[in-house]
Structures are given as structure tokens and as C-alpha cells.
Amino acid sequence: MDSPKSDGNAAEPSFPVSSLPAQKSPFSKFLSNLSPIQSARTSRYTPRLSESSFPATPPVFGSPGLDLQQGTRFLKRDEIADSSSNAQGQCNYSPSSSAKRHLTLGSLSLVEGSGNKSKSKHESFDKILGFSSENIWSHVLEHNVGQEASQRRQGICRNLQFEATFNKKGDAGFSCQTTSDSVSFTENGGNRIIPSHTMFQSNGSDFISMKKLTDYQISQEKHIFGNERSNYLLKDISDSLISTGREVFNHDYSMAKRQVFNHVVVFRKRETYIDESEGCKRCNCKRSKCLKLYCECFAAGIYCVDSCACENCYNKPEYEDTVSDVREQIESRNPLAFAPTVVNQANTSPNVADDQNWISPSSARHKRGCKCKRSKCLKKYCECYRAKVGCSDGCRCECCDNYFGKKSESIFGAEKWKNPSQENLNTVEVMSDHVKAGTANQFSSTWEELVNLSHLTTHSRVVPSMTLPDMGGISNVLHAQSQKGNGLQLSPGHYHWYSAPLSTTLACVSKSSHELGFTNAAYDMKGYGSSNKLKDNSNLINTLKAHSPKQKRVSPPQHQLDRSDSRSTPGLQSGPKFILQAAASSPPLTPYCNTEDRMNQMEIDSQGSSHDFKCQE
């Protein structure tokens, strides 16, 4: 991964390397500034969960001695993969942090002692939260690697809810209760909230700053622990509490009570984060600065990593503001740009927990569809095939022979889509892709709406992509999420999908900080929602534009010229032919034509060309 040269090129703006807030504000001070809330909000953390299982999972903290092995059940698979790669000494964004983990915190309600906002109380939090990253993460790593294989097979298990009470050496303890996105530290005081995705900086014992991450940063799980050794991102409640509990235990604090509600949800994601065969190599960009969708890393919403072979890369944490701005700009032009590539991933087979047996529901489709002409949608050139979904009516492909399902070519309906798990693919490699992060973000009802709108498909509304499992008590929460999700569709401007390609989930949250019950002012949320970032990065954005071919034209290689020649063959690119074909195969707004019309169109298609261009060979 090449760093941009800061010298020389005048067209290259200099980027203010975003510096983390240096101001020292202890965690306790931070807490005291938090605005009280009445109650924990309903969950905004909307994981793409397929179903519940493990109805009676043993408690995580089943015994006074922490069972670290059990703890591993809460590791997400990508984290496991992380650990694995760490163990191999590869693919770290920052090799210095031997074990990266990401704690997700939807919202954290802190309740302080009754009337006694004493310092010791804060210290209690400080101690508990101010763990040393080394200790915790090495622990996690240590117990991850050994179980990597089985964990991968198992899918992702996540504790959704548990309760724990910690006591600090006889102090009045506080209890933590979590849901999928909220934690309540319960004592007799008023509630306070820490917003989700808050990054903590710690000097090892105290938090010195907190910072609300930007949307894009949130999607960059890797860098949180990558660069700054002492940064903590509270991102996952379960993990955070487990880890916290561990650390508390390890530090000889006694835990008075540990109780876990046994709701474990299996997550699945279609893409493995790391391709085992090819290691972690990712993009190979030369001219895009990794700030365009050409870059797979950028398109996936993740920073480039060391294993990237890109040049002049700006898709790095150092340029987070720039990256965010460019990303937002692109997103404003194309709201689907960073959407999960596969939508409508309904999971109708609740008992399948194995990634290998993932079944693409027939309703799954690419968010935009392909326009393949020569690959027959049989190679990874085809985005649908790459995403392991069949072509849909949104595709404008020709000669579609997509293994996962051909585009419905006739009025007689589409060929029944194949189930990849039922027979062997002759193209097995597609089943073990590496980073196709877009498709890692699959669960998305709102995207679905967006896609449905953007597609011209007007037929019946697609079924919701999340089927709620029978989860006992927790299903209420999830129902609430589902409803909330549905409610989002009408105000897309206020919501944003956290594409978390390295994780298994996609969270739809409100961008309004007020809704979260906190204000920007109460936190050191540098740049979050601020508008001066554009100013800061206007130079780069202009530069990106300036790098358009007009200004910086590079004579194309010979092979491109050749191809251009061959492609400009009259008839191959002529409009009417393909338009007609597209019309015949896209039911949406185009009325179905009868067979006769279709035949006529086909005749028209073949006119002017002596042989059939389409589907030859």
C-alpha cells in the first residue's frame, strides 16, 4: 500500500492528517457530562440475523472462574479470521496490535450511584472500562485461534442479551444489562448514555478522550485498533461486557453476580472476510487513489490494508475525513453505491447455520443487476455471479447462463434457480471468495426499498429480507427493530446504513444524534456531522475531479485500443438492438409482449447482422 507522496505534485493537496483529540478528558469527566436519558431507546442495532438457535446456551459466566472457551462463542467470525491472520503475522493493518477486536456498543446507559456522583464511582467505571488492550485482546486471540476452524463452520454466534453485575471490592456494585444495542448499568441514579460507536482513547488506565466516529469510520472496523494502540471502540455490547468482565476478574475484582440470558443468535454472512488461499491481498489500484468505486476496498467501505498493492492510496485512516467526504459525495450521487450488493436476502431456512450451506433465496438479487455481454454471467466478470446470486429482471445481460439462476428470458418465466449446496459447482472458487465486502452487508430492508425503487421492477413488493425466528423473549426486540426498519424507508435521508464489511451485520441507525439521546456537544465528536469537513477536503475532491481523463489523459495501452476497435464494431454497440432485447426481458414497466411481438422483436434484432452476435459459441 503506497502512501501518497506529500511532495512535488502541486495538484495534490496536502491533507491534514487527522489527529485524534489530544485533550485529556478522563472517562469520568466524560460520564459526568453525559446528558441523562429516561430510558434506553429501542434498538437501532439491526443485525442481519438469520435465526436464533442455541435456545439454552450455557451462561457465559457460568462459573466464578471465567470460562474463556465459552467466551469464544461470542466471537464474530471475521474477528476470528482476524485473529487467525494475526497469528500468521499477516494482514494486519497495524502489525503492532497483535490482536484486534471490536466492541460494539449500541448505546450504553450508565447509572451512577444514588446521589453520590462520587469520584470513586467513576473510578469504578474507569477501572472496568480502562482495561489494557494488550491483556484483553491477547486473551481473546489466544482462545480464538485454536477454535477457528470449528467456529467458522458454526457461523457466527453472538450473545444478544445478558446481564452482569460487577462488584468492585465491596463497593456497591452496578449492574449491567444489555440488549442488542443498549446497556444499562443499573444503580439508583439517573441514566446516562454513551452513544454507539464511540471510540475511547485510553492511556492504559484512564480514558483520555472519546470520540464519536463518523459513519465511515464506523465501517472501518480495522483501523480502530490498528493504528492507535490505546483506542477502544465500544461497538459490541456483548463482547465489551464479556471482555470487561474478564478483565475485572483478572484484576482481582470480584464479580458478585453473573448472569447471562441465553439468547444467542447465529449470524451468517456469505463472504468470508479473508480468502484462505490468497491471504489478504486486496486491491491493486494504480490510478484511483483508492477513492473511487473502482477500488474494491473503498467500494466495500473499508480502508486499504498493508496487503493491498495500491499506489498513491488515500483510503487510509490518515485521510479519514477525505475518505468520508468522497464517500458521501459518491453516495449522494448514487445512494446505492455503498449498499450491500445483494438485496432481498430472505432467509427461509431457519435451521441452516453453516456458512457452507448457505442457500441463496430465490429472491436474492444483485442490487443493480449486471449488463454482461460476453461472459454469459458465468464468470466473475458478472457481478451477479460473483455475488453468488442469479440474475434478475434487473439485469440487462445477454445470453445469461448464470449458474445461480438465469435471468428470466421469456414470458414463460425464469428457470428455477439452482441451489449451490446441492450440486458441485465447476467453479468452486466462487464459493470461497475473499473480500467482497459489499455482499457482506446483506441484511437490509431499507436498501431493499431503495433498490426496489431504483429498479424499475414494479411488481409486488418483495418480501422482507429478515425472517424473525422464534427467539422467545428476544423476538420482541427484534420485532421492534423490524418495524423500525420498515419505518425508515420513507426518510432515507436521515438514516444511514453502516456497512460493516468486516463484520456480519449491517446496522441501520439514525443519523440524528438527538434521537440517540445525546448531543454532539456532550461528546468530543470531532467532525461528526460537522460541515467544515467538506471545506477541508474540497481540494482533494477537486483534485479527484481534476484527475479526470480530460485533464490528465493517459494514452491507453494498445490492448485497450484493440478492444475498443473490436467493440465499436457496428451492430455490437448499436442501441436499438439491445434496447429491444432489454424491453422484452424486463417485465417491470414494460408490458409483457405477446409471443408474436417477441418474435418480431427478435427478427428486428437479427436484422442488419448476418449472424447472431448474441450467445454465440
Partner DNA sequence: GAGTTTGAAACT
Partner DNA sequence: CAGTTTCAAACTC
CB atoms within 10 A of CB 512: 10
Q: Which is nearer to DNA, 429 or 470 (CB)?
A: 429
> Are 17 and 434 in contact, with CB atoms under 8 Å apart?
no
Distance in Å, CB of 178 to Zn ion, minimum:
34
Find the shortest distance in angstroms from Cβ 614 to Zn ion. Answer: 12
Comparing CB distances to Zn ion, the nearer of 158 and 365 is 365
According to DSSP, the residues that pair with 262 across neighbouring strands are none
- Which of the listed partners (DNA, Zn ion, none) does 313 bind, with a CB threshold of 5 to 8 Å by partner kind? Zn ion
Binder among 117, 380, 418, 614 for DNA (CB under 7 A): 380
Does position 432 interact with DNA (CB under 7 A)? The reply is no
Tell me phi and psi for residue 436, to 5 degrees: -125, 70
- Can you tell me which of 41, 73, 368, 406 binds DNA, judged by CB under 7 A? 368
> Binding DNA by CB under 7 A: which of 5, 479, 494, 563?
563
223 binds Zn ion (CB under 5 A): no
Amino acid making up residue 336: L
End-to-end CA distance of the chain: 41
Q: Interface with DNA includes 572 (CB under 7 A)?
A: no
DSSP letters, 37-76, are: ESSPPPP-----EEEEE-TTPPPTT-SSS--HHHHGGG--
**Residue 33 half-sphere exposure toward CB, CA atoms < 13 A:** 15
DSSP, collapsed to helix, strand or coil, labels residue 183 as strand
Nearer to Zn ion, 44 or 368 (CB): 368
40 or 372: CB nearest DNA:
372
Report the candidate in 431, 377, 428 with the shortest Cα–Cα distance to residue 401. 377
The set of residues, in sequence order, having a beta carbon less than 8 Å from that of 300 and lying 6+ positions away, is 435, 436, 437, 438, 440, 499, 501
The C-alpha atoms of residue 568 and residue 343 are separated, in whole angstroms, by: 34
Contact code string over 323-362 relative to DNA, x by CB under 7 A: -------x---x--x-------------------------
Tell the smallest beta-carbon distance from residue 544 to DNA (Å): 6
Judged by CB under 7 A, which of 235, 268, 386, 496 binds DNA? 386
Distances (CA, A) of 10 to 6, 212, 285, 539, 543: 9, 33, 21, 11, 10
Nearer to DNA, 97 or 360 (CB): 360
164 touches DNA (CB under 7 A): no
Q: How far apart are CA 501 and CA 219, in angstroms?
A: 7
In whole angstroms, the minimum distance from the beta carbon of 346 to DNA comes to 23
**Minimum distance between the CB of residue 370 and DNA, rounded to whole angstroms?**
3
Number of residues that bind Zn ion (CB under 5 A): 22
Give how many residues touch DNA by CB under 7 A: 54
Cα separation, 175 vs 186, whole angstroms: 5
282 binds Zn ion (CB under 5 A): yes
Cα(36)–Cα(50) distance, rounded to whole angstroms? 34
CA atoms within 13 A on the CB side of 370: 32
For DNA, give the closer residue by CB, 276 or 429. 429
* Dihedral-angle region of residue 412 (phi above 0 means left; psi in -120 to 50 means alpha; beta otherwise): alpha
- Candidates 293, 453, 583, 593; binder of DNA (CB under 7 A) is 293
Shortest distance (Å) from residue 214 CB to Zn ion:
19
Q: With binding defined as CB under 7 A, does residue 24 bind DNA?
A: no
Residues that bind DNA (CB under 7 A): 282-288, 290, 292-296, 299, 330, 334, 337, 368, 370-375, 379-383, 386, 427, 429, 433, 544-545, 547-550, 553-554, 556-560, 562-564, 568, 573-575, 579
Binding site for Zn ion (CB under 5 A): 282-283, 285, 290, 295, 297, 304, 308, 310, 313, 315, 370, 372, 377, 382, 384, 391, 395, 397, 400, 402, 407
